[in-house]
Structure formats: C-alpha cells, structure tokens
Amino acid sequence: MTQKTGHALIQDYLRTLDSSPGVYRMLDASQAVLYVGKARDLRARVSNYARPSGHSPRIARMIRETASMMFLTTRTETEALLLEQNLIKQLKPRYNVLLRDDKSFPNILVAKSHPFAQIKKHRGAKSEKGNYYGPFASAGAVNRTLTQLQRVFLLRNCTDSTFESRTRPCLLFQIKRCSAPCTGRISLEDYAALVEDAERFLQGKTTSIQADLAREMAEAAEAMEYERAAALRDRIKALTAVQSVQAINPKGVAEADIVALHMEGGQACVQVFFIRGNQSWGNRDFYPRLGGAESPDEVMQAFLMQFYDDKPPPRQVLLSHPPEDPDLTSAVLSERAGRKVALLVPQRGEKSDLVTNALRNARESLARRMSESATQLRLLEGLAEAFDLPAPPRRIEVYDNSHIMGTNAVGGMIVAGPDGWMKNQYRKFNIKGTEITPGDDFGMMKEVLTRRFQRLLKDDPDRQSEAWPDLLLIDGGAGQVGAVHSVMAELGVEDIPVIGVAKGEDRDHGKEEFHRHGQRPFALRMNDPVLYFVQRLRDEAHRWAIGTHRARRAKAAMANPLDEIPGIGAARKRALLAHFGSAKAVSRAGLADLQAVEGISAAMAQKVHDHFNARD
C-alpha cells in the first residue's frame, strides 16, 4: 500500500485535531522538518493545507513534500508563538523565515564591584554588578564610544588586579584618558562625580553636563587655575566631538529600536538602528533566509520574535511594516521585557523620518548584497566548470594547518558559499594525536578531517542538513590530497570532491597547481577569475589557521604553572608570587616556606608542594 503524502495525508490528520492552540511540524519522507507553524486553532489552520489548490508555489511545494506531521497543543496562543520560535531556532526548517545572524550585541558596563568604578565593553549574561548601557550595533561602535568617554570623563578601564598592583600612573594618564585613581591622583568623591557624569551622558543628559563643565572652567580661570581650566576645556571639546559623530540624534525619541524591512527578488534585508538616551548607538543589517514568497508582515513577525529571543526589547520598536499579528507579538515581547513594549508603524513626524532613513539603508544594503551574490554565483559556476563538479557548490570547506616545528599545532576550517564567507561556520582544531610526529602535516590533516566527518556522521548520518560540504579545498599537494582521500574512504564519504591547492613553481602566487586523487595535476590560466577566487579561499584559510596558532602560542607563553593547581585562584596566586617573586621560586620552596605565605593554609601548602614534587 502506497503511503499517503501531501493533501491526502493532511486531510487524514484533521480527524484527530481539535480547536486548541498549538504548534505543528511538517516533515518529509526522511523525517527532516520542513516547516514549523503556530495556530490559535490547530484544526482550522491545518485545514488550509488540506485544500488541493489556492496556495502559493512555495506552500504548494511544501505540501507535496509533506510525508508526516507532528502536533503540540498549548494553553494559549502566546505559548504557541514562543514554542514555535524555539523550535525554529533549534530545527532550522527549510520553509521558515530564519534569522541567520544570532550574535549577541555588546554593551557598555560601568562596573561597581570596586569603589573606583571601571568602564568597559561587555557581552553575554549581565551577571556582573554595575549598570549596563546598550545594545550597541558592533564592537567598533562600543570602542569608539569608550574612547571618547575616557577623554571626557577620565574613567579607568583596567582590571581590578591591575588597579591594585599599580605604583605609578599608566600611559592613559599621560595622554589624558584616565584620572589615575590607582595612584591616588584623584579622590574617591571626585572620581564618583566623574562616574555620575558619565552615566548621565549615557542616559542622554548631555546638555547639563556641558553646562556644568563650562561653569567649572570659568571658575577655574577666574581663580587663575589655568592648568585645571585647560583640562576642563579639553574635556568640553571631547564631549562636543562625541556628540558630533552621532549619525542620528533624535530629540523626541529617547529609547527605541528602528526595524526596517526591504524585500526584492526573493531576498530580504532588515536594518536595525539602536536609539538610547536620544543618541544613535549604531545599526546592523540582517539577511534572513526566506522559504519563498513570504509576505512582509510574515517576515517582520518572524524577525522580531527571533531577534528578541535573547535580548530585551526597548520600550518602543518603530517598524516599516506591521507584523502579522501585532497584538500577539507586542504581548510576547512585553512579557519578555517585564514591561510594556509598543510596536509602532509611524506615518509622520520625526519617528517616520527615522524609519524612512532605516528603510533607505535596507534597500541600498540589499542592492549591494544582490550584486555581490551575482558575482559570487558566477565564480561558483566557474569553479564547477574548472573542477568538473556536477553543480556550483553551495558549501565549500577549506582546510589548512599551522604550527612551528610541530608545536602548538592547530588545524583551521573556513567555509564559503553563495553569500560569501560563512564565518559563524569557521572551526579550529587543536591537534591532539599523541602518535603524530611533530611537523607531520599529513598526520595533522588526517586528524582534522577524521574529527570533522566523524562528527558530521554522528549528527546527521542521513546527510540531510546543510552542514555537509559540496567541495573540500586542501592547502597542499598530492600528499595532502592522498591523506584526505584515505580518511574519506575509511568513513565512507568518498563522493565529496577533494581538491588540493599547491603553490607551483618557485612557490609563486599565481602558478598554483590543483591536485585530485588519481588524476594528473593541472593549472588555471594566470588571469582566470576562478584562480583569484581559489587564492582568496586559500588565503582566508591560511589567515584563520595562523591566527588560531598564534593565539594558542601566546596563551602557552603566558601560562603559569600555578594555574594548573586546583584551588589556586587569582588571590592565592598573587600572594604566592608576591612572597616568592616567581612561579619557579614557588616550585622550589619547602613546605614550611609555603605555609608562611598569607592566605595559604597547611592543606593548600601541602597540595602545592605535592604538585611540584610530583613533576620531579
């Protein structure tokens, strides 16, 4: 008996459904999730798919591929919407709108764990004591703001341990970017006043700060304290510079995110501008993956739910298009924020101008991306023709190793596709094999590829996900390709093309030779765009691998043997180093000497002594 699919299958499911709210999943014959949706009334929603006609090409194709469905009922539609977004984020269905950039946004933290507050960049969970200001669109936007804030308010950015160990001011004091509280150049009360001013600035209260500084400068000049007056003048100039670099400083919008969507040619760009304290804190563009033929309101709702999944929304979100269900979306965002979140589509005034500006940026960004994508597609087509591939590759993985005489060896993997570099897919591999001879590049490459494809086979044995590559580029010649081929044959994935990119005569850039298993090496003509494309891929892999190697080498160079001892934290390490002068002296110390160190108990002294004696 032939198993039902499509409309007939969905019609059968209707008999078992009621009018509860919930979430449904549509799966294909291999049980891969095609689509996740939510419904206020599951029976009514699913019945739409049971109709044989009246669907967009995208929905019709999805229905044809549906071989089974799964259902979860919820108490409310709000719960269904939250569950839907969790499942979309986890399963990444092919026909859902998917936000592909899920990086966290940086904040500025005024850390209050020390009497002299520290100002610094912060990402991640807000677990440290202090006040957080953000989000900023990028690390660059935060760094620029921090630099200007240091010039105006002279707050420290050093760690607490560095602060405690200073005996004289650092360079930042010399270039007038810190007030040097570490060496007593400013009192606690005066420093607290600077912190208060900095926080007022971050809250948008710049006018009163400027007026206060101008008054203090006049008083200093009148009292003939010309050096202090000059310092205050420099701070006013720095504050003016901060205000002048802000791209948009809306007077009537204190706190909002501006979200503008432009769709064209089956692609979408969403521009998000962050307004905090009446100041623009930068913007970021996003390119959500579309299932095909979605409406703007559907894309907007999916974007808002996924974008604010791990970050608190502001009090206002100004939109170019309303979401599919504005009231429900607002209710969910308000629940996440713990306060009212208003979703507005302004039609006039300053708010409308802000949205119009963001929409223009979205349109221009998408045009640039589509132009770049067209160029990338031509290069991928050329790559397929040059290397005799069945189709232009959707995912290219490029591998390289880096080490110095076999030490701190690492392998690097970079990924590229139709949209360019896929940097969130880059991977690094610390070479762990004890049987590998130092400097054995073939052995290192075997280990990297074995670990990579063993993991892929474990996570997706049916090879349904987009994580499987269509082409492997290896930095190396016939030997490297042979090593990779043996790994792939052993794992049973020999159908993935492997190309080795070897520097040709005199290791000259432009005379590369390409190697395939069992075939003669060949070259591309010097001015071939595909050759330049492969060179960029190879160079990016080399940059990634050598950067990873340098980071590992630097970490090893900075490693302290005391870090390896359980129970020795920062405070005890400082005490031991202050007492003995170096980790080497600690390793040679006797048990009685270790017990004499303040903060080191008899048991801990025994542990430290045993740790170093065990090495001898």
What CATH number corresponds to the domain at position 52?
A: 3.40.1440.10
**Residue 511, domain member (yes or no):** yes
pLDDT at 242: 56
Band of pLDDT at residue 41, cut at 50, 70 and 90: very high
**Residue 383, domain member (yes or no):** no
**Residue 372, domain member (yes or no):** no
> Last residue of a domain, which of 91, 122, 139?
91
Task: Tell whether 492 and 461 lie within a shared domain.
Answer: yes
**Residue 381, domain member (yes or no):** no
What CATH number corresponds to the domain at position 609?
A: 1.10.150.20
- Token readout for 108 is 């500025």
> Last residue of a domain, which of 351, 367, 383?
367
pLDDT digit string, tens, across residues 245-295:
444 567 778 889 999 999 988 889 999 999 888 788 888 889 998 876 788
Task: Tell whether 37 and 17 lie within a shared domain.
Answer: yes
Cβ distance 57 to 292 under 8 Å? yes
pLDDT digit string, tens, across residues 66-81:
999 999 999 888 888 8
Residues in contact with 576: Cβ distance below 8 Å, sequence separation at least 6, in sequence order: 562, 568, 583, 586, 594, 597, 600, 608
pLDDT at 2: 53
pLDDT at 47: 92
- Token readout for 561 is 């043997």
Helices (H), 308-430: 326-337, 349-386
Task: Tell whether 230 and 112 lie within a shared domain.
Answer: yes
Task: Tell whether 219 and 176 lie within a shared domain.
Answer: yes
Number of independent structural domains in the chain:
5
Task: Tell whether 87 and 224 lie within a shared domain.
Answer: no
pLDDT digit string, tens, across residues 43-61:
999 999 988 888 888 888 8
Least confidently predicted of 401-405, 457-461, 514-518: 401-405
**Residue 99, domain member (yes or no):** no
**Residue 374, domain member (yes or no):** no
Provide the total of helices (H) and of strands (E) in the chain, helices listed first: 20, 18
3-state class of 14 per DSSP?
helix
Q: Where are the beta strands (DSSP E) in 193-308?
A: 255-264, 267-276, 279-286
What CATH number corresponds to the domain at position 259?
A: 3.30.420.340
Q: Cα–Cα distance between 554 and 563 in angstroms, integer? A: 15
pLDDT digit string, tens, across residues 408-422:
788 899 999 988 888
Q: Which domain holds residue 39?
A: 6-91
Task: Tell whether 316 and 188 lie within a shared domain.
Answer: no
Task: Tell whether 550 and 416 lie within a shared domain.
Answer: yes
> Last residue of a domain, which of 511, 538, 556?
556
Average pLDDT, the chain: 85
**Residue 96, domain member (yes or no):** no
For 399-416, what is the mean pLDDT?
82
* pTM (global) more than 0.85: no
Task: Tell whether 119 and 81 lie within a shared domain.
Answer: no
**Residue 82, domain member (yes or no):** yes
pLDDT at 32: 87
Q: Cα–Cα distance between 141 and 147 in angstroms, integer? A: 10
Task: Tell whether 551 and 583 lie within a shared domain.
Answer: no
Task: Tell whether 76 and 141 lie within a shared domain.
Answer: no
Q: Cα–Cα distance between 323 and 303 in angstroms, integer? A: 9
Task: Tell whether 417 and 493 lie within a shared domain.
Answer: yes
Task: Tell whether 226 and 270 lie within a shared domain.
Answer: no
